[in-house]
Amino acid sequence: MASHEPRLLPQRQLGHFLTSWVRDPMGIGAVAPSSASLAKLMARGLHAGARVVEVGAGTGALTQAVLDAGVLESDLYLVESDERFVEVLESRFPAARTVHGDATWLGRHLDELSGSVDFVISGLPLLLFSDVRKRRLLAAAFRLLGDHGAFHQFTYGGVCPVGRRVLDGLGLGASCLGFAAFNVPPAFVYRFERA
């Protein structure tokens, strides 16, 4: 496993997170950046040589865990809709490709990756998404993912953030990877794969 120097979040960047949350709490969906324990759980199974797309990358709390798992920064694609967060990500992870855009339209942003991605890591507040939006996001993500690719999602609810009807309609299965009890608030991590 490659060793990476952690890129800590300066106070100014934490300020961007809080300002963005106050401006759009439903869009951010979290009151604080993800904890190290949640980030490590989200990166479970990632490895050197994996190609990873992170959606809703925020300030990069999960991104650092992806790098710590051995993924090369040049194999990392970050998708973020908040312009301030895009600037933070570009500053912290200059070798990654950062895309400013809506993650539900992944195909428009990263079409050249179709079928070649190993993992999609999501920090999006899926519990707040309509079924239509969830379906659009997952369909786009699984067009990018290879046959054995997986989509990792955390949620603050005690249940899977995607309902059975949406999963069945897309031919996907869900399993719980674990529980980050010390995150604020505590969070569950789910893995979605082709059934």
Structural domains for the chain: 11-30+40-194 (3.40.50.150)
Q: For residues 77 and 74, what is the distance between their CA atoms, to the nearest angstrom?
A: 8
Give yes or no for residue 60 having a pLDDT over 60.
yes
Average pLDDT over residues 130-135: 98
Give yes or no for residue 97 having a pLDDT over 50.
yes
Average pLDDT over residues 76-99: 97
pLDDT value of residue 10: 52
CA torsion through residues 42, 59, 109, 116, sign: negative
3-state secondary structure of 164: helix
Q: Which stretch of 29-43, 100-114, 174-188 has the lowest confidence by average pLDDT?
A: 29-43
3-state secondary structure of 30: coil
The overall average pLDDT reported for the chain is 88
pLDDT value of residue 1: 42
Which residue type does 163 have? G
Q: For residues 154 and 185, what is the distance between their CA atoms, to the nearest angstrom?
A: 11
pLDDT value of residue 29: 47
Q: How many helices (H) and strands (E) are present in the chain, helices listed first?
A: 8, 7
Residue 34's pLDDT band (cuts 50, 70, 90): confident
**Long-range Cβ contact pairs of 79-82 (< 8 A, separation 24 or more):** 79/53, 79/54, 79/55, 79/103, 79/106, 79/109, 79/110, 80/56, 81/27, 81/56, 82/20, 82/24, 82/27, 82/28, 82/58
Q: Which stretch of 147-151, 164-168, 184-188 has the lowest confidence by average pLDDT?
A: 184-188
Q: How large is the greatest C-alpha to C-alpha distance in the chain, in angstroms? A: 43
Give yes or no for residue 36 having a pLDDT over 70.
yes
